[in-house]
Amino acid sequence: MKILVINTGSSSIKYKLFHLPQEREISSGIVERIGEAGSKISFSMESVNGNIIEDTVEEDFEDHRSGLKKIAEILFRKEYQLLNSPEDIQAVGHRVVHGGETFQEPVIIDNKVVQQIEKLIPLAPLHNPPNLEGIRVAREVFPSASQVAVFDTAFHQSLPPYAYHYAIPSSFHKEHGIRVYGMHGTSHQYVAQQAAKYLKKDVETVNFITIHLGNGCSMTAISNGKSVDTSMGFSPLSGLMMGTRSGDIDPAVVFYMGNQMNMSLEEINQLLNKKSGLKGLTGSNDLRDIIKWQEKGDETASLVLDMYIYRIKKYIGAYYAALGKLDAIVFTAGVGENSPLIREKACQGLEALGIQVDKDKNQQHKSGVAASRIREIQADDSLVKIMVVPTNEELSIAQQTYQVLDK
């Protein structure tokens, strides 16, 4: 079955085309700057003779509809011999950021599901509207395909009530849905399943702390395959320090900024979401820059790295306590997969908890094909395994789409 996975942002559409159950990726690409000057599509695919075709085409994409139509046009080009007609795509899997308390698992999209996702817009005003637009357009462009929604929040719906309630009057939860939801669920779930498979264990018998360090960063405590706590909360703003988000901050800072500094709510929102974290502190949200500056003796960079690492370490301690027993710590995403420094420092000093990195194993496979494989990096006498597991949210969405339709 050919499954197209779509991740629609406010001005972009990322796509990947898979063949399931073989899990073969056939093509991938991104339409960027939709509705802005300089919009373009970049894509790659395997040609009939096995060569990789890569191209970028600059074109005016005034809306998501024109972007998705272009993706379809490229996938159906005769010269690539990938697909013959829109019917060749049997399903479209959509990444939907917020499923609220309504969606605990992926669903086949019908008009009722669209209405339910619309109702959740207040919880994710920046993300659910473009996700919905992607669904609407995909239903038009691929009318014969089943459309499936896979939610970023769904995996965390297993949090126990004592972990997901905030200590504010319960009417805020009941009437307005204010509680912990957590994000990056698809990635945490995927790497946990992959790690369990690698360890030859049933995921429902093992406890993990999964650490997703990309531009957005989050950690999850996973008990017997279920998320029991996670560092993002009502929104992606809480928890770890991130590329541009502050992570945990005393909410009184917000009142101070408003009352004493006359900042508007929107200015504070922009500050904490877009101009904080690594970017706000150093000017760059690329951790590689900050590591480079620190190596050259830059004191700010050194402090910022310490802050970034300390936050991760605190959550390891917290989640170890929440789980009681820990089988493995799993690092994933851009930083987690590629930065030996962050992995080593985040686990440093935790030997008494049975957590110890092997420096050599941690340094191996920094790049190349081997870097995309699952590997263990703990010392021989570390009681807890420490693993690097590449995430693949799109493949996970394709797998979940396939499973829903297979039922």
Cβ closest to ligand ADP, residue 2 vs residue 184: 184
Cβ closest to ligand ADP, residue 286 vs residue 344: 286
Q: Over the range 145-175, which residues count as b (16 or more CB within 10 Å of their CB) and which as e?
A: bbbbbbbbbbbbbbbeeebbeeeeeeeebee
Answer whether 187's CB lies under 8 Å from 153's CB: no
CB of 169 to ligand ADP, least distance (A): 35
Enumerate residues 6+ apart whose C-beta is below 8 A from 242. Answer: 215, 216, 217, 277, 278
Cβ closest to ligand ADP, residue 227 vs residue 392: 392
The three-point CA angle 224-160-335 to 5° equals 60
CB of 243 to ligand ADP, least distance (A): 5
Cβ closest to ligand ADP, residue 324 vs residue 368: 368
Q: Over the range 278-290, which residues count as b (16 or more CB within 10 Å of their CB) and which as e?
A: bbbbbebbebeeb
Catalytic residue among 110, 152, 306, 358: 152
Answer whether 26's CB lies under 8 Å from 5's CB: no
Chain center to CA of 68: 22
Residue nearest to ligand ADP (CB): 334
Please say if 152 is a catalytic residue.
yes
Beta strands in 196-256 (DSSP E): 207-213, 217-223, 226-230
Measured in degrees and rounded to the nearest 5, phi and psi for residue 365 equal: 55, 50
Cβ closest to ligand ADP, residue 242 vs residue 355: 242
CB of 73 to ligand ADP, least distance (A): 27
CB of 336 to ligand ADP, least distance (A): 8
Per the omega criterion (within 30 degrees of 0), is the bond before 86 cis? no
Answer whether 227's CB lies under 8 Å from 188's CB: yes
Pairing state between β 375-376 and 40-46:
unpaired
CB of 130 to ligand ADP, least distance (A): 16
Q: Give residues in contact with ligand ADP (CB under 6 A).
A: 214-216, 243, 285-288, 291, 333-335, 338-339
Q: Which residues are catalytic?
A: 152
